[in-house]
Chains A and B, each alone.
Chain A
Amino acid sequence: MENKIESYARSSVGSLVNHMRRLLFRVLSTGPIPNHIAFILDGNRRYAKKQNLGEGMGHRAGFVTLMSLMKYCYELGVKYVTVYAFSIDNFKRRPEEVQSLMDLMLEKIEGLLKEESIVNQYGVRVYFVGNLKLLNAPVRDAAEKVMKATANNNKSILLICVAYTSTDEITHAAQEAIDEKWGEIQESSKASIAQNGEISQEKHEGNRTIKVADIERHIYMGVAPDPDILVRTSGETRLSNFLLWQTSTCLLYSPKALWPEIGLRHLVWAVLNFQRVHPYLEKRRKQV
């Protein structure tokens, strides 16, 4: 009997909280809502130490937080969410830690394919962004399976950056852009020789130079627009080689809370700050 009352009370409070949250999001939506929010999930290990949890439990708690934050973002109307899950620099950590993170990632990636996962609930298309060749085969295969399985979803997009650093991303884009230019030059030279027996240098000069658009065409994150807000938790105020190219005019927000402690209030505060600077940034963007 008591259990029934308890569970009834719990579900009522739960649905009241949901209603309040939706009301809050409706109020926020009277102003501009960011289209793309990026998160650096920092502080999991410190959280585990603080709460005296076992090794790796901080990251599990972090995953639960990630799911709730994603839910809030999609309910609010944010279309793109990017998370910095694993950096190329993180391979420098102890091999046991790297292995346990890889195992956790594999478990959670496979979990995304299940019916009841957030991906199916909110119609999320998932992209894995980064130098995937650096991952071990099981994780890479699971990632590719999820990307294929969610390819038809279009309500929201989730970009998970694994084996990613921004400098690696830019280098890769530069390599491809240069390869492309080199291929174009060689082809047009061949065509010119075929036509008039000599290469006309001046005609091709303009097409030879790499431009911003060429880099942006080959960049891993090209599937999403630039982020509007970059949230880095645990109070560290640095980019740590994340989205350097894309965060030129992005609002940077660094709450002191560790990643597993992040909640709705931090998201709301970030959106309010975004709404404050948005008119100025829009004006600047239109000028350019």
Chain B
Amino acid sequence: MSSNYRNPSLRLCTQYSLLMEMSSLQLHLSLAPSPFKPKYLSHFLCPTLRFRSIPVASLSKNAISISQSHENGFVQNGAPEEFSDSLPEGLLRELMPTHVAVIMDGNRRWARMRGLPIGSGYEAGARTLRRLVELCCKWGIKVLTVFAFSSNNWFRPKVETDFLMGLFERGLRDELENFIKAGIRISVIGDSTKLPKPVQILITDAMEVTKNNSRLHLIVAVNYSGQNDIVQACQSIALKVKDGVVKPEDINEFLIERELETNCTDFPCPDLLIRTSGELRISNFLLWQLAFTELYFTHSHWPDFGDDEFLEALRSFQQRQRRYGGRDS
């Protein structure tokens, strides 16, 4: 019952199909030796139709990044984006995660350790996030989801939550220009109705203005709870049942996944989840979507999570053996 975009054999098959395309052989998706029939093609756009327009010269270097990035500027302007020389040593292009999720934990502890006010911790964290977004763009990661504010964080002192909301508003306003220039699409998931009105308006504008960007999809989880995400998906399905669009016996995992807030992207399930500051738990973040995600925990606090730590996380990810319950170990 796993969805196809998690299935590595189907991804490998698109690489295979690409190479066959280059030697002008007829190819069908049904040749793919995947245990699953590719029922949900809308979630995994048919590569045969997409890649005919791509110049052959770019295929040899970027075969795998193409199969993962069918949403980017390729089809629109026909020019390939340059990824091949920007990966640091020790990382393989074909093993890069498509979707990385981050729990940015430890800002307050970082500030306390240095005798700084809590606000400085959050500001340092914002700078680290900016750097991570740059790295993801540079290294060809397609989706980055960050856990900015949990539903449980409202229990923090009001001074702190007000500061966080202000930081979020300022950050969004100041960075919007850069996002547009860099081709970053921004989405916000979570219950934004509880956020201050100016922030809500800013979010709606930012999402609208950047909706056609495709270099990197930055998903910010604000006032988000994994359980509430699943419940709101069930509520949408319940409404569809009431309206007769869906029969109760047709409710399946695919239907629920399509209603989750991560349906704004074609890759809702992270390949890698990073949590900083040494805490070993998920804390109600992306519960459904983390079914087969590789988890990486580091002791560094979030403001200290720099290029080296991210590289280490990616190296660790590339060494993992992902079996999805199936293949021999």
Contact = CB atoms under 8 A, between A and B. Distances in A.
Contacts of B280: 251-253, 273
B325 A212 contact: no
Contacts of B291: 165-167, 239-241, 244
Interface stretch (A28-36, A68-76, A89-97, A103-111): A89-97
Interface in B201-258: 226-228, 230-231, 233-235, 237-238, 241-242, 248-249, 251-253, 256-257
A174 B256 contact: yes
Interface string A57-98: 000000000000000000000000000000111101110000
A170 interface: yes
B1 A167 contact: yes
Interface residues of B, number: 48
B228 to A, nearest CB: 7
A179 interface: yes
A239 B326 CA distance: 15
Nearest to A285: B152
Interface in B278-301: 279-284, 287-288, 290-297
B228 A212 contact: yes
A168 B325 CA distance: 14
B145 to A, nearest CB: 16
A120 interface: no
Contact of A92 (B241, B251, B325): B325
A166 to B, nearest CB: 7
A212 B238 contact: no
Given A89-B324, A167-B253, A288-B152, A240 B227 contact: no
Interface stretch (A143-151, A203-211, A261-269): A203-211
B251 A178 contact: yes
Given A165-B1, A248-B227, A210 B234 contact: yes
A8 interface: no
A287 interface: yes
B328 A45 contact: yes
Nearest to A246: B287
Interface residues of A, number: 51
B77 interface: no
A245 B233 CA distance: 14
B290 A239 contact: yes
Contact of B248 (A165, A179, A245): A179
B288 A170 contact: yes
A179 B237 CA distance: 11
A4 interface: no
Contacts of B152: 284, 287-288
A251 B281 CA distance: 5
A11 interface: no
Interface string A156-178: 00000000011110110011011
Contacts of B237: 174, 178
Contact of A238 (B1, B231, B241, B292): B292
Contacts of A251: 280-281
A237 B297 contact: yes
B224 to A, nearest CB: 12
A87 B234 CA distance: 24
A88 B279 contact: no
A133 to B, nearest CB: 14
Given A174-B237, A238-B292, A239-B292, 14 more contacts: A170-B288, A175-B249, A178-B237, A182-B238, A182-B242, A209-B238, A238-B294, A240-B292, A240-B325, A241-B292, A244-B288, A245-B227, A252-B280, A252-B297
Interface of B: 1-2, 35, 152, 155, 226-228, 230-231, 233-235, 237-238, 241-242, 248-249, 251-253, 256-257, 279-284, 287-288, 290-297, 320-321, 324-329
Interface of A: 43, 45-46, 49, 87-90, 92-94, 165-168, 170-171, 174-175, 177-179, 181-182, 185, 208-212, 215, 236-241, 244-245, 247-253, 273, 277, 284, 287-288
